[in-house]
Amino acid sequence: MGNDPKTSVLNRYQQCWDAHNVFVLGASSFPNNAGYNPTGTIGALSLWTAKAIIEQYLKNPVRW
């Protein structure tokens, strides 16, 4: 995840830089293991992404 497509695969909404209609949810978006149970973080990121898809992406389906 990141703000620059040159240094990251996903943007802050878990949206793939190369394909605007692909969203990656779950621990597969983490670059490495955080060393503790990531369930809360994964849930929060999933809710963040779902809210953004509903409120922003569906109205204008492009990359943010």
Provide the token pair at 7: 């240094």
pLDDT digits (tens, 9 = 90+) for 5-61: 999 999 999 999 999 899 999 888 877 766 778 888 889 999 999 999 999 999 988
Residue 29 is predicted with a pLDDT of 83
Beta bridge partners of 25: none
Spell out the alpha helix ranges (H) of 1-64. Answer: 39-52
Taking the domains of the chain in order of start, what are their residue ranges? 1-64
**pLDDT above 90 for 4:** yes
Q: What is the DSSP letter of 27?
A: G
Q: What is the DSSP letter of 32?
A: S
Beta bridge partners of 10: 16
Contact by Cβ (8 Å): 12, 3: yes
